[in-house]
Structures are given as C-alpha cells and as structure tokens.
A and B are shown apart, each in its own frame.
Chain A
Amino acid sequence: AAGHRKQRKKHQHKANCRRHALYVDFSDVGWNEWIVAPPGYHAFYCHGECPFPLADHLNSTNHAIVQTLVNSVNSNIPRACCVPTELSPISLLYLDEYEKVILKNYQDMVVEGCGCR
C-alpha cells in the first residue's frame, strides 16, 4: 500500500504544474547565421495540471483558487492555467539586417517560475 501511495504521489507530482527543461538551439531554426552569441539558451516551459485543491507550491493567485474551486463543482468552467509567473531576460549578440553588430537585452525570455493562474 505504501508503495502504491508513493507511486500515486510520484505520478501526481509529475502531472502537476511545474517548469520543464527546454533548450532553444538557434541552429535548429537557422538563426545561428546572424546570432553570434549565445548559440542557444535554456528557455524552459511550464506544463502540468492545476488540480483541486491547489497546493501552496503551485504559486496560485486568489482568482486561480476560486476558479479551481468552481471547476470542481462545474466542469464547464476550466481549471486555472499553468503559466510562467516569473521570467528573466537574456542578452543576444547579433548582426542586424545592415550587418551592424548589436548587443541587446531582451526581456522575459527565460522562465524562472511556473504557477497556476
């Protein structure tokens, strides 16, 4: 029984909203021809369920808690969504369309945290 409980818990945790690894390789989309550095970056993504009742670690808002509660009694109302709650910038060194070299800071490129919103 303990084993089953552990397995169920593990399965549940896996399905819950959390941050997942996602490395964006610029060469995959042919952008390495004009982006000098970095060659790619860890962007991450958010995925998973926002189940009732929402646990503290799911970083939810009051609205998400209420929406999840309503969903538990009326399935026409969707569950809260698993989305990025904190993002950070990255800098890119690249050549623009005039072959000028630019170092620019781009906002909200890396997912730092996920939550149910």
Chain B
Amino acid sequence: GAAGLIPEVGRRKYSESGKQSPEQSENFLNEFELRLLNMFGLKRRPNPSRQAVVPQYMVDLYRMHSLNGDHSTKRPRSMGRHAERAASKANTIRSFHHEESMEALASLKGRTTQQFFFNLTSIPGEELITSAELRVYRDQVLGATAAPTSNTSQNSSNSSRTSSGGFHRINVYEVFGAPASPSGEPLTRLLDTRLVQDSLSRWESFDVSPAVSQWTSGGRHNHGFLVEMLHPDTLEGEEGQRQRRHVRVSRSLHGDQDSWPQARPLLVTYGHDRQGNAVLHRDKRQ
C-alpha cells in the first residue's frame, strides 16, 4: 500500500469502515488503485530521487499552457514556433536526457561529433508521436567581438565576427547502422541543419520528428542521433578549444558541472494517446 497511489491513511480508513471483509476491502482498493494508475498512465507510484531534474523548458511549456487564456502572456523565449505548433496537436509532452554512458564524442580539427542515445522505451505503444525536437544549448563564444549589423535590434546588439566569420554549422543526423569497419563512421541520414552565430547564448531546436516517430512506431530501430559541429577556419590552441566547447553536447565539454543538468541536450516528444484534447488546446472558458 505504501508504494501505491492511495495514501496509507485512506486505505486504513476504508478498511476500518467495516463495510466489507478485510480481504474484500484490499481487493477493492487494489482495483481502484489500478484505475488511478491507468488514468495517469503509470505502472507504479513514481518515487523520484533528489537528483531528478525538471528541465526549465518543460516548466516553460507548462506555464505557457496554464496561462493560455491570458493574452498578455508571451511565449517563453526558449520556445520556438515549431514547438508551439507541435504542442497544439499533442496531449502528452515528454522530455528525455541522453544516456551518458553510451555517448561517443569525437573531435577532429574543425569538426566535433557527438553520438547520443535516448531511451524511449517508456513511451506507451498507444501514444502516437506527432513531433519531436532535439534541443542543444549553445554558449556564447567568449571573446567574440561585436560588430553591429543592419538587422533587427536584437541581432545587431549580439552580432559578432570571429576569425571564422562568427558562424558555426550544426548538423543533426539519425544513426541507422553500425560502421562498416571498426574505425569507420556510423551510417547516418541528415535530419536537420543550422548555421548558428557563435556570439549568442541560446537553445537551438532541431526537428527530429521523422526518426523518433519511426522508432516509437516500431518502423526502425533506435540507434540514436549524431550531432556534428563544424567550426570553419577554427583557430588552433586555447582559442580553438574554446570555440569547440561552446556547444553543450557533452559533460566533458561543459565547464560548469553544477549547471550541466539544465544545459545538457534534451529530446522533447509531442504525442497524442487519442484521449482528449491537446495540451495547448485553447479553451474559451480558460
């Protein structure tokens, strides 16, 4: 009983009411508990440890939804239009951190690759994944010199030019096969790509929907993602190291261990279990 959703006090009160035999009471309570668990989509009562991390992005999504009816509330800065559109069709949003024990980091001159594996087995079979995004945090490259441009005020205030022109490319691939030779590279397919300005600190969101929906529907085996960072004309020495470390894809590339839980890559899935409305469904009453 202590491990269940019904608190011990409630169990005791019901058992002591004397309406049924103790055995009948226990059976009835167990049945009721199963219904409660089923309602929440759980198999047992969650018992999170103190180390459990709630990503800020999920809190932002929750806030955005709970303040949905308030038109003065703006979309959180960390949330893209893509996510807002995806959430409007989903009634379940899940977040996943990658399995750090399975990551594979490689860094050659001008190119850093990181292989991620996200365990998605907790997604129930009946849940249809409509969209998924891989979010990667990118820190501003320190020492990048600001150079105003004629773009929007936000862009101009943050613009910069480094020796590489101030831009890096991030490519996200789906891994769909092991390398042909032990020293070779895994078989991959490009899912999304972006040219990013290295003077800005922000989350980058990549659309990985095709891969995740295939993995969760059983269409393809989940071999994970490969994220590639291309640093054109990367400097050598300490400056070069700093430029390569600014995309937070691995704990070893992350300077501050305390902030790593909130800066590590995050996979967010948007799904529908075919019961009820979407999370960001706009209700007139609300």
Which of A's residues lie within 8 Å of B, judged by CB? 29-31, 33-34, 36-38, 88-89, 91, 93-107, 112
> Which chain A residues lie closer than 8 Å to B55 at the CB level?
101
Q: In the complex, what distance in Å separates the CA atom of A105 from the CA atom of B91?
A: 5
Q: What are 17 residue pairs bridging A and B, where the CB atoms are less than 8 Å apart in the complex?
A: A29-B10, A30-B7, A34-B48, A88-B285, A91-B62, A91-B279, A94-B40, A96-B42, A96-B46, A96-B122, A99-B48, A100-B94, A101-B58, A103-B61, A104-B92, A104-B93, A105-B92
A106→B93 contact, CB < 8 A? no
Known: A31-B5, A102-B93, A104-B91. 9 other contacts (CB 8 A): A88-B286, A89-B283, A93-B59, A95-B52, A95-B54, A100-B96, A102-B94, A106-B276, A107-B275
Give the residues from 140 to 158 in chain B that come closer than 8 angstroms, CB to CB, to chain A.
Answer: none
B278 at the interface (CB under 8 A from A): yes
B279→A103 contact, CB < 8 A? yes
A103–chain B nearest beta-carbon distance, Å: 4
User: A34-B46, A101-B94 known; A93 and B62 CB under 8 Å?
Assistant: yes
A34→B92 contact, CB < 8 A? no
A61–chain B nearest beta-carbon distance, Å: 22
Closest residue on chain A to residue B91 by CB atoms? A105
A107–chain B nearest beta-carbon distance, Å: 4
When A and B form their complex, what is the total count of cross-chain residue pairs whose Cβ atoms lie within 8 Å? 95
B49 at the interface (CB under 8 A from A): yes
> Which chain A residues lie closer than 8 Å to B66 at the CB level?
37-38, 91
User: A30-B7, A93-B62 known; A103 and B48 CB under 8 Å?
Assistant: no
Q: In the complex, what distance in Å separates the CA atom of A91 from the CA atom of B42?
A: 16
B7→A29 contact, CB < 8 A? yes
Q: In the complex, what distance in Å separates the CA atom of A107 from the CA atom of B277?
A: 7
B281 at the interface (CB under 8 A from A): yes
Q: Is chain B's binding surface mostly helix, strand, loop or mixed?
A: loop
A34→B45 contact, CB < 8 A? yes
A107→B276 contact, CB < 8 A? yes
A97→B95 contact, CB < 8 A? no
A34→B47 contact, CB < 8 A? yes
A105→B43 contact, CB < 8 A? no
Closest residue on chain B to residue A30 by CB atoms? B7
B180 at the interface (CB under 8 A from A): no
> Which chain A residues lie closer than 8 Å to B80 at the CB level?
none
B108 at the interface (CB under 8 A from A): no
Give the residues from 49 to 95 in chain B that come closer than 8 angstroms, CB to CB, to chain A.
Answer: 49, 52-55, 58-59, 61-62, 65-66, 91-95
B44 at the interface (CB under 8 A from A): yes
Q: In the complex, what distance in Å separates the CA atom of A91 from the CA atom of B93?
A: 11
A39–chain B nearest beta-carbon distance, Å: 12
> Which chain B residues lie closer than 8 Å to A97 at the CB level?
42-47
> Which chain B residues lie closer than 8 Å to A101 at the CB level?
53-55, 58, 94-95
> Which chain B residues lie closer than 8 Å to A38 at the CB level?
66
3 closest Cβ pairs, A-B complex? A107-B276, A34-B46, A103-B93
B62→A103 contact, CB < 8 A? yes
B277→A89 contact, CB < 8 A? yes
Q: In the complex, what distance in Å separates the CA atom of A36 from the CA atom of B60?
A: 12
B39 at the interface (CB under 8 A from A): yes
> Which chain A residues lie closer than 8 Å to B283 at the CB level?
88-89
> Which chain B residues lie closer than 8 Å to A107 at the CB level?
275-277
Q: In the complex, what distance in Å separates the CA atom of A112 from the CA atom of B43?
A: 30
Q: In the complex, what distance in Å separates the CA atom of A112 from the CA atom of B94?
A: 28
B97–chain A nearest beta-carbon distance, Å: 9
Give the residues from 120 to 151 in chain B that come closer than 8 angstroms, CB to CB, to chain A.
Answer: 122
Q: In the complex, what distance in Å separates the CA atom of A91 from the CA atom of B286?
A: 12
User: A88-B285, A101-B94, A107-B276 known; A93 and B54 CB under 8 Å?
Assistant: yes
